[in-house]
Structure 1
Amino acid sequence: MDVHRDEEQGILAGKIDLALPLRPPDHCLGSTGQVLRILMLNESVLMSTDDPVGTAVVGFGFAGRCFHSYLVGLAPGLNLQGVVSSRAEARQQITDRLQTRAYEHFDELLADTRVELVVLATPNDLHAPQAIAALEAGKHVVTDKPMCLDLAQADAMIDAANQAGRVLSVFQNRRWDSDYLTVKRLLQEQTLGKLVYAQLAWGQFGAPGSWRGEAERGGGKFVDLGAHMIDQALQLASSPLQRVYARFSDAGLPNDVEDHAHCILSFADGSDVHIVTSSLARLQMPRWYVLGTEGALEKHGVDPQERFMIAGNIDAATEDESLWPRVSRAVAGQTTQMVVQPVAGRWRSYYENVGAAIRGRAELAVTAQSVRQVMAVLDASRTSVRTGQSVEMAQTDD
């Protein structure tokens, strides 16, 4: 998920201090036609594989309102039991518009036996302690991305999930982006041939606000947006990651995080993927630029699902044909340029899979172990920036 606005400022067990607009947008609170399944289950009932998974969202900032509560409400295998917020006016919005319970404190949620799945839509520095607390309370957990602050925290979360025997996943919804799925298909079909080079870029102009401009809280666009692009690069790679090199630039914007970041992922087969994030992008770079042995691809613009989701109907997401990927390759001995109709993106699939995995009907699509390498890359990038050297990567099991 990519959020560039003020969110919850802190939610800890027993105490929450939130910054929330007085009137959240109505379309982020459940559009007219959206059916939110509220199932009040007796606490003594044993859940069957057909029962929807009781789910609660922690945090009611932009992410909690417009991403997680919305998508949970659309997943037939999940049942939105409640949302945590310390703000009285926000809790009123939750009960009136979502027609579900509004918890004031995180520990109230942990004590509710109807809640099986906890979704963390909170600042990055709270993901690890909250996830571990929820897992120790016997809950399954989804954290927003990034998974946490560093690899050590990721390993502690994975250990807690293994000890509890519970599902732990990370909201890497952009594995279901249209552009990513299109690039993946073109590589699989050998339309582009073997991957040689790719650049994934994402920027806006202006410093991130609130905690997103604070390094110690896990702020900065490289962590926020880079977590998605690093994950996509690792998913596309056909050989192990060998080394990471990164540089961060400070252009004087009013925050203590990087203003521009450039990270190079080098793989064992000789391919390189460049990840670029920026707060200086007055003009947009291509979102994707891919060179293969048989062709090249250029794609501008980000996946349209967020815009339509905020408007209240993610299923209506469409993209102007002027933003469709352009491919250049040899056809019958002649260099030919073509516009490729993109594969449809579907963020709804993430939570549908989580519900099915918890009930044992599907394998978990986004495992914590698969996201662990993203955290390893983020750690390696910081080390590379500090030392000015590339960092050799240890081989990890996904």
Structure 2
Amino acid sequence: MSNDLNVALLGFGLAGSVFHAPLVACTPGLRLHTVVSRDAGKVHAGHPQARVLADPAQAFADAAIDLVVVATPNDTHAPLALAALAAGKHVVVDKPFALDIGQARSMIAAAEQAGRVLGAFHNRRWDADFLALGALLEAGALGEVVELHSHFDRFRPQVPDRWRDRAGAGSGLWYDLGPHLVDQVLKLFGPPLAVCADLAQQRQGAQATDYFHVQLRYPRLRAVLHAGALVPGHGLRFAVHGTGGSWIKHGLDPQEDALRGGALPTDAGWGRDPRPGTLLQVQADGSVHEARSPSPHGNYPAYYAALRDAINDGTPPPVGAGEALQVMRVIEAGLLSDAQRREVAFD
């Protein structure tokens, strides 16, 4: 009899179908048992073995389900996570973890009371470029980092008719891409002293934020997070400057495009970044040496492997609920900063 953990995936839109379902299905020790979706045909086209249900409550009531993955619209994350935890399930919530700090804290309290693992899907910790940057910082290749620019720009001039781009709680780029960029900076440098955010609707007919420019202030470091939807020249991903050098990275991690195209993490060459970054290091004589920096392969499958181990062995989850709470604190501080047009202290 299989000892695999049975997973119920809630939602089969972009997040569910492109990210979670393939990663769960490819992780030894996990079984994509159930998908809650209104489109059984779409689910079975890629995962014929999965049971399809229309109502999340049916999945929560099934004693065979061990883990629930919440990949539904943002305003449903907290209610569904709370219901799953109340039913005794382990839970993973796609980003954003919640709509606000209050929801996040209630989810954490519910997980503690239930004695279950609760995590957030901040998969971009396993982007090839972020892994490369982490290795450079660990090696001291840039000296003390004083300036970081993290961009996730696109050129999408037409506003699509989807919930992410409509007016409403949890919509817009700051909730969509913001959690990824915030989580990466917090992972590297911890919480900032203050947050200063400029959020905007730039596209014709925009109903939700489609631009953000946010500065996280540290004692010496300034971390700038930026995303826009009207950026034809959207090549820059990272520009990181320190007392000993700079690292410049263009192009996005390839894993999302690979998953969208139907590739699987088990395919040869998975996660190889075709555009490694450029490292510029200050030499003893003051000159600057330029070289391509080594780039590890991106590794989204590592998330679910670590989550499996956290459930089975009690090891720390790959992204803990406390870390997700810190991200939500920055997201909320950014909203307040933009609304009041001022820097918000982060205490």
TM-score for both structures, normalised by structure 1: 0.82
**Does the C-alpha gap of structure 1 residues 131 and 241 become closer, same or farther in structure 2, counting only changes over 3 Å?**
same
Checking the alignment, whether the CA contact within 8 Å between 2:167 and 2:207 is kept in structure 1 is yes
* Change in 2 beyond 3 A, CA 1:208/1:224: farther
Q: Given the superposition, is the C-alpha separation of residues 91 and 68 from structure 1 closer, same or farther in structure 2, using an over 3 Å criterion?
A: closer
CA distance, structure 1, for counterparts of residue 227 and residue 21 of structure 2: 28
Partner residue, 1:139: 89
In 1, are the aligned partners of 2:44 and 2:50 still within 8 Å (CA)? no
Indicate how the Cα distance of structure 1 residues 326 and 208 shifts in structure 2: closer, same or farther if over 3 A, else same.
farther
- Give the TM-score taking structure 2 as reference length: 0.93
CA distance in 1, matches of 2:89, 2:294: 41
1:363 paired with 2:340, answer no
Deviations 1:277-329 (A, max 9, x none): 111111115100000110001100111112222332234335564x2100111
For 1:112, the equivalent position in structure 2 comes to: 62
What CA distance in whole angstroms lies between the structure 1 residues aligned with 2:245 and 2:24?
39
| Letter paired with 2:185 | A
Specify whether residues 128 and 59 from structure 1 end up closer, same or farther in structure 2 by C-alpha distance, changes over 3 A only: same
Q: Which amino acid aligns with 2:250?
A: H
Given candidates 175, 178, 183, the residue that maps to 2:133 is: 183
1:271-290 correspondence to structure 2 within 5 Å: 271-290=221-240
Query: For residue 228 of structure 1, what is the aligned residue in structure 2?
Result: 180
CA distance in 2, matches of 1:250, 1:62: 23
Q: What's the secondary structure of 2:240's corresponding residue?
A: strand
| One-letter identity of the residue aligned with 1:173 | N
Distance 1:52 1:361, change over 3 A: farther
Partners of 1:256 and 1:296 lie apart in 2 by 38
CA distance in 1, matches of 2:168, 2:297: 37
Q: Tell me, in whole angstroms, the C-alpha distance in 2 between the residues paired with 1:165 and 1:393.
A: 30
Q: Which residue does 2:204 correspond to in 1?
A: 253
Measured in 2, the distance between the counterparts of 1:256 and 1:375 equals: 22
Question: Which amino acid in 2 is paired with 1:243?
Answer: A
Q: Is contact 1:179-1:342 (8 Å) kept?
A: yes
Runs of 4+ in 1 over 6 A off after TM superposition: none
Work out the CA distance in 2 between the residues paired with 1:209 and 1:195. Answer: 41
What is the CA-CA distance between 1:140 and the residue it aligns to?
Answer: 0.5
One-letter amino acid matched to 2:93: T
TM-superposed CA distance for 1:362, in Å, is 2.5
- SS of 2:175's equivalent in the other structure is helix
Counterpart of 1:198 (choices 124, 136, 148) is 148
Relative to structure 1, the CA distance from residue 240 to residue 89 in structure 2 (aligned partners, 3 Å threshold; closer, same or farther) is closer
**Counterpart position of 1:374:** 327
Please say if residues 208 and 221 of structure 1, whose CA atoms lie closer than 8 Å, have aligned partners that are also in contact. no
Aligned CA RMSD, in angstroms, stands at: 1.7
Contact in 1 for aligned 2:70/2:93 (Cα 8 Å): yes
Match of 1:387 among 337, 340, 346: 340
Once the 2 structures are TM-superposed, how far is the Cα of residue 345 of structure 1 from its aligned partner? 1.5
Unaligned runs of 5+ in 1: 1-38, 42-50
Q: Is the 8 A contact 1:253 1:259 kept in 2?
A: no
Q: What SS class does the counterpart of residue 79 from structure 1 fall into?
A: strand
| DSSP-derived class of the 1:288 partner | strand
**2:29 paired with 1:77:** yes
Letter of the structure 1 residue corresponding to residue 172 of structure 2: G
* Alignment equivalent of 1:335, drawn from 288, 299, 302: 288
Amino acid at match of 2:215: I
Q: Write the distance in 2 (CA, Å) between the matches of 1:264 and 1:209.
A: 30
- Superposed, which structure 2 residues align to 1:98-109 within 5 Å? 98-109=48-59
Q: Verify the 8 A CA contact 1:77 1:356 in the aligned structure 2.
A: no
Cα distance in structure 2, aligned partners of 1:366 and 1:88: 30
Deviations 1:248-274 (A, max 9, x none): 12324323212311000012x311100
Deviation, 1:215, is 4.0
1:119-130 aligned at under 5 Å gives the runs 119-130=69-80
Q: Aligned AA for 2:328?
A: M
1:32-43 equivalences under 5 Å are none
Aligned to 1:163: 113
* Change in 2 beyond 3 A, CA 1:197/1:179: same
CA spacing shift, 1:208–1:148, aligned 2, 3 Å = farther
Contact 1:119 1:141 in 2 (8 A): yes
More displaced 10-residue stretch of structure 1: 341-350 or 305-314: 305-314
Count of paired positions: 341
Distance 1:348 1:107 in 2: 28
> Residue 236 of structure 2 aligns to a residue in which SS?
coil
Amino acid of the residue matched to residue 342 of structure 2?
Q
Contact 1:123 1:217 in 2 (8 A): no
Matched-pair contact (CA < 8 Å) for 1:91–1:103:
no
What is the rounded CA distance, in whole Å, between the counterparts of 2:25 and 2:220 in structure 1?
Answer: 44
Residue by residue over 1:355-391, the C-alpha shift from the partner in whole angstroms, topping out at 9 and shown as x without a partner, is: 1100125321210101111100110001000111100
1:210 aligns with 2:154: no
Is the 8 Å Cα contact of residues 304 and 318 (structure 1) preserved in structure 2?
yes
Give 1:65 deviation, angstroms: 1.4
**For residues 181 and 75 of structure 1, what CA distance do their matches in structure 2 show?**
20
